[in-house]
Amino acid sequence: MTPLVSVSVALISLLSAPYGLLARLVGLWSDGLGWLGERLGIAMLEYVFMHHAFLVGALIAVMAPLIGTFLVHRQLALIGDALAHTAFAGVAVGLFVNSLLGTGISPYVTAIVVAVIAALAIELISEATDAYNDVSMAIVLSTGFALGAVLISLNTGGLAVGINQYLFGNLSTVSRENAVLLVVLFAVVALVVTVTYKQLLYVTFDETAARVAGVNVPWYNRLMTTLTALVVVGAMQIMGVILVAAMLVVPVAAAAQLARGFREALLASVVLAQIAVLAGITMSFHYNTTAGGTIVLVAVAVYILAVLAGKAQSRRAGDEIPERADATEKSTSD
Amino acid sequence: MSGEPAPTDAARTPLVEARDLTFGYAAVPVVEDVDLRVERGEYVGIVGPNGSGKSTLLRLLLGLHEPDSGSAELLGHPARAFAERERVGYVAQDVTEDEKRMPITVSEVVLMGRFPHAGFGRVTADDRERTREALRTVGIEHLADRKITALSGGQRQRTYIARALAGEAELLVLDEPTVGVDAESVEAFFELLDGLVDDGMTVLLVEHDIGAVIEHASRVVCLNREVYFDGDPTAFADSDALDRAYGTNVRREEGGIVT
């Protein structure tokens, strides 16, 4: 079975899995946090939306760096940004359809659909032109955002009011349904990455060698971008369209400063992302700031600390190993 | 190996077979009418001037390009079918030019050689043991936990050889593996290859250093779009194939040939 088919099969079966069960699990989480907040006297844990925000944040802080690690080390960091902006078009489509037909489809569902289509389109374009180029990526990004803006302006002004939460994210609008959707997205992403970890790593490290070794590189590229689309839409709820890509990039860049191995880098990026998300959500509650922006600022602070720590670390390592095996290497690589 | 065909059959199938192979990125062919057969246990060095189609020929043999005409077979399968690829180890040109700085350790890279065997399954203790064994064979066991970007060019090439060994490759395909590697490490690298060939490895090597190929390979293929020479290294050194393939750019100096 091809990876993409297995993704969609998993997605469909997971979506049709009893919603009630997942909702009850989210409810249990909420009860647990509420109880904890009461016991420890943490005021922000009195609010159910904060329980959801912490759940969604923690899941984002696992799956965004997980996918981001593969993207960043293939120098495809921009893909997250491009897909986020097309996801915005998806949100607009959802809102548009709802107001036109009076349906109640979640805009996040249409965002997923549109972002996944855009992901596959980006892959097909890059396969046809034999290169990811930043120009076509920029075109996809602007097209998505422009399409979203036009669709929204086609509606009456009333819609424009609700658009801020998609652009900048919003903690207080994370409903139980949205939390359940995120749990589902998380399960799909985590499952697929676990199963295809080796292939994704091989393709990330050396695409040509992976092809020679018989790995179906185009399929894994499509899989990777599709997963990116899912993560981006999932993280959009609290990060917002504009800042969502930061979660794919900043913790990963920080981890790369500290880690030697790939597995180590993955783990470190998740830990750093958790710090950024949990601290960011807490601060945004206390200082009444936007969550996405606060989280990104914390992540950037963590990144700066990681750069400094990495520099100190390599200086120490440099003292221990005075000479590298060949000096020519050093002069060419620096 | 656990392959189904009888060992005698497998031994008789050439590992590489190109017939009338022609390919061009544009209208002009880069590789034309190439016939090449590599038998088990051979150590074939492909030489030729810059832009002579050496690397393209390798890419065709590995199935990375669709031939314009003719055929390329690897391990008895059409190269484009990418079948039984765990039997092929590939070491590419310019791995030293790695500005990506991706965090990954030497042992993680070598473990990739086991990935075609593991498929979607878990990496087992046996896979890790073979990885250690391969690192021991190429003599960089002590660098296992080092970040690959912290290694020298020569050490990195050893890592890629180890990856092929960990994958139990029978055919080693190397594309200009000594580019950016210092002279001393190049010498040691060729000695390592000699040792692997002695142990039964088949090697197909593209190399700009003609002297090294004549010294180490058991067979030389001189290419400039077409095959100018295919045979014994000493016969190649005595022939005029080099002058014909390279034009007038070749100077013969004492102790070696410099392009």
Question: Across the interface, do A325 and B112 touch by the CB < 8 Å criterion?
Answer: no
Taking residues B160-176, report their average pLDDT: 94
B186 domain-assigned: yes
pLDDT at residue A10, rounded to an integer: 67
A298: helix, strand or coil: helix
Output the pLDDT for position A125.
82
Please list the alpha-helical segments (H only) found in chain A: 3-16, 19-40, 48-72, 77-101, 107-129, 134-154, 158-162, 164-168, 176-205, 207-212, 217-239, 244-258, 262-287, 291-320, 327-333
Chain A contact for B83, CB < 8 A?
Answer: yes
Lowest-confidence region among A201-210, A268-277, B153-162, B237-246: B237-246
pLDDT on residue A268: 97
CA distance A28 to A189: 23
Q: How many domains does chain B fold into?
A: 1
CB nearest to A325's CB, from B105, B145, B154? B154
**Among B82, B90, B153, beta carbon nearest to A209:** B90
Minimum-distance CB partner of B104 among A75, A262, A324: A262
Task: Indicate yes or no: CB of A75 within 8 angstroms of CB of B85.
Answer: no
pLDDT of residue B203: 96
Q: Is residue B225 part of a domain?
A: yes
- Residues of chain B neighbouring A211 (CB-CB closer than 8 A): 63-64, 82
* pLDDT reported for residue A130: 64
Residue A131: what pLDDT?
A: 63
Q: How far is A217 from chain B (nearest CA, A)?
A: 11
Q: Does B185 touch chain A (CB under 8 A)?
A: yes
- Chain B closest CA to A319's CA: distance in Å? 14
> Looking at this protein, which amino acid is placed at residue A87?
A
Q: Which one of A6, A206, A215, A331 makes the best mutation probe of the B interface by having the most chain B beta carbons within 10 Å?
A: A206
A327 pLDDT above the threshold of 70: no
Domain limits at B76?
Answer: 7-98+171-245
The count of residues in chain B is: 259
Give the pLDDT band (50/70/90) at residue B248: low
**Residue A136 and residue A142: Cα distance in Å, rounded?**
10
Q: For the residues of A145-191, what is the DSSP string, one character each?
A: HHHHHHHHHHS-THHHHHTHHHHH--STT--HHHHHHHHHHHHHHHH
Question: Residue B12 falls within a domain, yes or no?
Answer: yes
Helix axes A134-154, A107-129, angle to 10 degrees: 150
B116 domain residue, yes or no:
no
Residue at B106 is within a domain = no
Interchain CB contact of B90 with A (< 8 Å): yes
**Per-residue pLDDT tens over the stretch A148-175:** 988 888 876 555 556 788 888 888 888 8
Q: What is the pLDDT of residue B249?
A: 53
Cα–Cα distance between A315 and A305 in angstroms, integer? 15
**Which of A70, A201, A333, A334 to mutate against chain B (most B CBs within 10 Å)?**
A333
**Over chain B, what HEC string results?**
CCCCCCHHHHHHCCCEEEEEEEECCCCCCCEEEEEEEECCCCEEEEECCCCCCHHHHHHHHCCCCCCCEEEEEECCEEHHHCCCHHHEEEECCCCCCCCCCCCCEHHHHHHHHHHHHHCCCCCCHHHHHHHHHHHHHCCCHHHCCCEHHHCCHHHHHHHHHHHHHHCCCCEEEEECCCCCCCHHHHHHHHHHHHHHHHCCCEEEEECCCHHHHHHHCCEEEEEECEEEEEECHHHHHHCCHHHHHHCCCCEEECCEEEC
Task: Set out the domains of chain A in order of their start, with CATH numbers.
Answer: 3-317 (1.10.3470.10)
Cα–Cα nearest to B100, from A20, A110, A76, A176: A76
Over 90: is that where the pLDDT of B119 sits? no
Residue B149 lies in a domain: no
| CB–CB contact B85 A214 (8 Å) | yes
Between B85, B145, B180, which is nearest A260 by CB?
Answer: B145
Alpha-carbon distance A277 to nearest alpha carbon in chain B (angstroms): 24
When mean pLDDT is compared over A18-32, A88-102, A119-133, B156-170, the highest value belongs to B156-170
* Count of CB atoms situated within 10 Å of the CB of B40: 15
| Per-residue pLDDT at B26 | 86
Residue A10 — φ and ψ, nearest 5°? -60, -40
Asked if B108's CB is within 8 angstroms of A329's CB, the reply is no
Mean pLDDT, chain A, as a whole number? Answer: 86
Per residue in A214-223, pLDDT (tens digit) is 999 999 999 9
What is the pLDDT confidence band of residue A271, given thresholds at 50, 70 and 90? very high
Q: Which of B104, B140, B158 to mutate to test the interface with A (most CBs of A within 10 A)?
A: B104
Residue of higher predicted confidence among A128 and B173 = B173
Q: Is the pLDDT of residue A330 over 60?
A: no
Question: Is pLDDT at A31 greater than 80 in this prediction?
Answer: yes
Residue B78 lies in a domain: yes
At residue A81's C-alpha, the angle toward residues A80 and A83, to 5°, is 65
Residue B121 in contact with partner chain A when CB distance is under 8 A: no
- In this structure, are residues B131 and B166 in contact, taking their beta carbons and an 8 Å threshold? yes
Question: How far is B103 from chain A, CA to nearest CA, in Å?
Answer: 5
B116·A211 Cβ contact <8 A:
no
For A71, which residue in chain B has the nearest alpha carbon? B102
Q: What is the CATH number of the domain that holds B88?
A: 3.40.50.300
Per CB distance under 8 Å, which residues of A are interface residues toward B? 73, 75, 195-196, 198-199, 201-202, 204-206, 208-209, 211-215, 255-256, 259-265, 324-326, 328-329, 332-333
Nearest chain A residue (CA) to B86: A213
